[in-house]
């Protein structure tokens, strides 16, 4: 992230924090890339759609009034979704017990990508129980991480088979 983008994020965060407090939401992530200001918010028991709408309106009004970004951009306010990005020690600590996918920086020893149950997270790093054993990495070694969701088995291709006789009799 450039210094300019970092300053912009800091300025927008300072403006959005009171809105987050008012609606009792957490700012999970804030990113400005490619002309899109993406604000990811959440609540401890999950984000309700009505709260998302109200927070979006409040942030939009604040941006119109304060004009913190000097160029045209798109505002996107969203929830983290089912597979949530993990960026801070607090995010990892809340995800202990969940299945996570981790990608490390290129200079980290071992497989760059691994998945398993997050068994521990403290102020310095995490431990993930993988098929090959426990893997401990420091936060500075993590390129990206997210919780994963088991979507179940992949459906068979072709969909359900239709009975041609039923189809013919229905069209008569």
Q: How confident is the model at residue 71 (pLDDT cuts 50, 70, 90)?
A: confident
Q: How many CB atoms lie within 10 A of CB 61?
A: 11
Q: How confident is the model at residue 3 (pLDDT cuts 50, 70, 90)?
A: low
What average pLDDT does the segment 24-32 reach?
90
Q: What's the distance, CA 54 to chain centroid?
A: 20
Q: What is the CATH number of domain 3-78?
A: 3.30.300.70
- Residue-wise pLDDT tens digits, 91-104: 899 899 999 999 99
Q: How many CB atoms lie within 10 A of CB 122?
A: 12
**Tokens linked to 154:** 């992949």
**Domain pair 3-78 / 89-147, same fold:** no
Please say whether the beta carbons of 135 and 116 come within 8 A.
yes
- CATH class of segment(s) 89-147: mainly beta
Helix, strand, coil percentages in the chain from 3-state DSSP, rounded to 5: 30, 30, 35
DSSP letter string, 95-148:
TTTSEEEEEE-TTSSS-SEEEEEEEEE-SSEEEEEETTEEEEEEGGGEEEEEE-
- Residue-wise pLDDT tens digits, 111-170: 999 999 999 999 999 999 999 999 999 999 999 999 998 777 777 776 555 555 555 444
**pLDDT reported for residue 9:** 87
Domains in the chain: boundaries: 3-78, 89-147
Cα(78)–Cα(42) distance, integer angstroms: 8
Please say whether the beta carbons of 26 and 42 come within 8 A.
yes
Q: Evaluate if pTM is beyond 0.85.
A: no
Q: How confident is the model at residue 34 (pLDDT cuts 50, 70, 90)?
A: confident
């Amino acid at each position: 992230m450039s210094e300019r983008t970092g300053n912009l994020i800091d300025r927008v965060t300072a403006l959005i924090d009171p809105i987050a407090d008012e609606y009792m939401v957490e700012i999970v992530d804030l990113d400005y890339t490619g002309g899109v200001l993406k604000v990811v918010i959440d609540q401890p028991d999950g984000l309700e759609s009505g709260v998302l709408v109200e927070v979006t309106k409040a942030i939009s009004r604040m941006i119109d009034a304060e004009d913190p970004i000097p160029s045209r951009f798109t505002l996107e306010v969203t929830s983290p979704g089912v597979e949530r990005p993990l960026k801070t020690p607090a995010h990892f600590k809340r995800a202990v017990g969940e299945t996570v996918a981790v990608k490390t920086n290129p200079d980290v020893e071992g497989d760059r990508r691994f998945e398993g149950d997050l068994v521990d997270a403290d102020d310095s790093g995490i431990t993930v129980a993988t098929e090959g054993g426990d893997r401990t990495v420091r936060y500075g070694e993590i390129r990206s991480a997210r919780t994963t969701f088991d979507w179940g088995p992949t459906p068979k291709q072709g969909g359900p088979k239709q009975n041609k006789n039923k189809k013919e009799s229905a069209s008569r």
